[in-house]
Amino acid sequence: MRAHIVTLPGDGVGPEVTAAAVAVLDAVAAHYDHHFHFEEHQIGGCAIDATGEPLPAASLEACKAADAVLLGAVGGPKWSDPNAPVRPEQGLLALRAALGVYANLRPLQVHPALAELSPLKNEKLKNVDVLFVRELTGGAYFGAKTRTIDTATDECKYTVAEVERVTRRAFELARERHKHVTSVDKANVLETSRLWRSTVQRVAAEFPDVKLEHQLVDSMAMLLLTQPGKYDVVVTENLFGDILTDEAAALAGSLGLLPSASLGEGKGGLYEPIHGSAPDIAGKGVANPTGAILSAAMLLRHSLGLEEEASTVEAAVADVLERGPHTRDIGGSAGTKDVLEAVLAAIDEHACNAAAFLRWGRACG
């Protein structure tokens, strides 16, 4: 198949991990006879430096015309002055809104070889397989902001339609998994959460085969640490989802491991690791590319419909997590490129075997 993919490497470690994800997609294209055309654009701090804007019009237009968008990370100390007129993160938020990608899928799995790295006891990490569905284009991130010398406000607003569509997506995904949705809110305090809860409750009636439970966000933060194996699909609003998924990443062993897919109504999507620009390690070639590579796998699955190719990439990543090499954040001493090379070698093995099975009913070699 042919696909047109826009890459937005961004700032800090963004370019390092995006290059690894592109190399993986190139390898997939070569093995499975696809043609992926990549077009690179700017977003974030580098775009501010070059054009004065965090999301230049050319970048946005290219993203809108693409089959999928692969993003690294934006931001960093250079652009973090609280009085700066414009910030890199505004570019990312504007992109998410313009693409209408309201459902942000953030899967969490704990690889057994990394369970030691988690602050939790090993036995608590058995069977951890959670899919967070974070609402991505509403809530406090997008409400009106005010600021005077001594007061500031961020409006948090949700409409029924916004809650309905992300809830439906979460239930549809749960149907393909373990048929259990946990909706997280703060309905004991926030009006937006009461609207969220009643809307989720109503949508749930369309999915009688899926079990729904509600959880307040403060206790959910605790339950993720005490009973992480209990959850299947977790749906929540934008800000709660942001916070809970960084917490979840600690269970997996590192923020550098988790991928995400942001989806709207069409086939297109925005794919990015959940971590940021990691200024403390940027430019050193030591960033963990796993979250970005697994985001590329999600791109293959959700935007291009290439399930087998996606599974091949995931299996290759699992092999490398199992046997190394590992970057520093997960206890190793390897660089980004060492991990990439190992993943590419594992893709060779898996793709070769898969293709040989299809053609001749046996593995290669």
Which residues lie near ligand NAD (CB under 6 A)?
Answer: 13, 17, 73-76, 80, 89, 92, 254-256, 272, 275-281, 287-288, 291, 329
Nearer of residues 242 and 329 to Mn ion, judged by Cβ: 242
Closest CA to 239 of 103, 327, 342, 136: 136
Phi, psi of 184, deg, nearest 5: -110, 130
Q: Catalytic annotation on 26?
A: no
Nearer of residues 187 and 281 to ligand NAD, judged by Cβ: 281
Q: Which of 89-97, 125-133, 166-174, 185-193 is the region at the interface with ligand IPM (rule: CB under 6 A)?
A: 89-97
Three-state DSSP at 111 gives: coil
Beta sheet of 35-40, edge-to-edge order: 35-40, 2-10, 68-73, 269-271, 261-263, 103-109, 129-135, 233-236, 180-185, 211-216
Q: Rounded distance, CA 37 to CA 168, Å? A: 33
- State yes or no: residue 8 binds ligand IPM (CB under 6 A): no
Nearer of residues 78 and 194 to ligand NAD, judged by Cβ: 78
Closest CA to 231 of 243, 246, 248: 248
What, of Mn ion, ligand NAD, ligand IPM, none, does residue 316 touch, CB below 5 to 8 Å by kind?
A: none
Tell whether 242 is in a known binding site: yes
Tokens of 6: 């826009």
Considering only residues 105, 200, 274, 298, which one is a binding residue for ligand IPM as defined by CB under 6 A? 274
Residue 304 per-residue DSSP state? T
- State yes or no: residue 296 binds ligand IPM (CB under 6 A): no
Nearer of residues 80 and 201 to ligand NAD, judged by Cβ: 80
Q: Catalytic annotation on 246?
A: yes
Q: Tell me which of 141, 158, 231, 271 is the catalytic residue.
A: 141
The least CB distance from residue 317 to Mn ion, in Å, is: 21
Give the helix, strand, coil percentages of the chain, each rounded to 5. Answer: 50, 20, 30
Which secondary-structure segment (H or E) carries 27?
helix 14-32
Tell whether 238 is in a known binding site: no
Considering only residues 3, 92, 184, 320, which one is a binding residue for ligand IPM as defined by CB under 6 A? 92
* Closest-approach residue to Mn ion (CB): 242
Q: Which residues of this protein are in contact with ligand IPM, per CB under 6 A?
A: 75, 89, 92-93, 242, 274, 276
